[in-house]
Structure 1
Amino acid sequence: MRQKQLLKILLVMASVWLWTAISANTQEVVNAQSESIASEQINSKSIRKIRQLSEIELPNTSAELLVQSPTPTSEINQVTGVKATQTQKGIEVILQTTQGAKLQITNRSAGNNFIADIPNAQLSLANGDRFTYRSEKPIAGITEIIVININATTIRVTVVGEARLPTVELFDSNEGLIFALTPVASTTQLI
């Protein structure tokens, strides 16, 4: 009986010793592998330095730089007249100015409306009206033409088509900037 107990004790002690030896050896292998991987990464420059907050360039949030300064009045192109003339294809709207080539246009459409914004320009009409020109139903297919100052430095030209968006072409001339407008006839579907 004693031999069996002695054998059990020896077996437990051997197991503990073996487990301790294996754990120590495994830890040495893991440490050696970790050191090898770390040295390979450093050598291959795959580790990147993380920048500190003080090293990051922040966007400029100064109010002085964010606010646009107004356009000097010397750069504002004066439109001294608006004239609509009927042509064979439609109508021409002429923004009368000596600086027609300097006028830059940003246009878009919304439904049947053609809208053109002209920055750095101001209406200063001969009749003293500084804010608006309006022509209602100038020709068949075009309901309205409106030319207004939307602010102190921008003119807006709006052409409203009756059934569809009119075709618009732009030209420069000695007289000014010309909008050649051609109404588009509505199409009726046959069923």
Structure 2
Amino acid sequence: MSGDGQDVEALSETPERPSAIAQLINTDKDVIGEVTFHDVDGKTKVDIEVAGLKPGFHGFHIHTVGICEADAKEGPFTTAEGHYNPTHADHPNHVGDLPPLFVTTDGNAKLTVQTDRFSGQELVEAATGIIIHEKADNLSNIPDRYQSTEKDTPGPDKETLKAGDGGARVACGVIIAP
């Protein structure tokens, strides 16, 4: 942020029509929320409003595939595959990594975030999805004092670097053009 208020001003000048949207469903296939994407001046404003989740922090990411099968053989919404990561970066620097979603004690959450990692149009063209995980994403922030069980060096292991240990997928949405 430049300190001159331009970033805040850009957020307030959001166009009426989003560049992309996603309806979120839970593992019972009920619609529980919506995510909208507004592309403005080379940045994307992401708005989420969701209900019916367990209180606390939840991992929240764009995933590679826009397929949301609640009854997928490998587990709910595994059909969305991994984090959207066309640059092949480590977690938490995947293009699709978003800040944690905080759900209040009544099960509701609202979050607005601005990013320059992707555009809504890009997500639609790439046929992506969006996932909410059951637990907080640790953002691969594992202090060196913790020894990985996979390797002989301290810090995060491959699994943590891949997805942040957010646990099961509790909600999913297919990102589409409005």
> Common fold, TM-score beyond 0.5?
no
TM score, norm. by length of structure 2? 0.29
**Rg larger in 1 or in 2?**
1
TM score, norm. by length of structure 1? 0.27
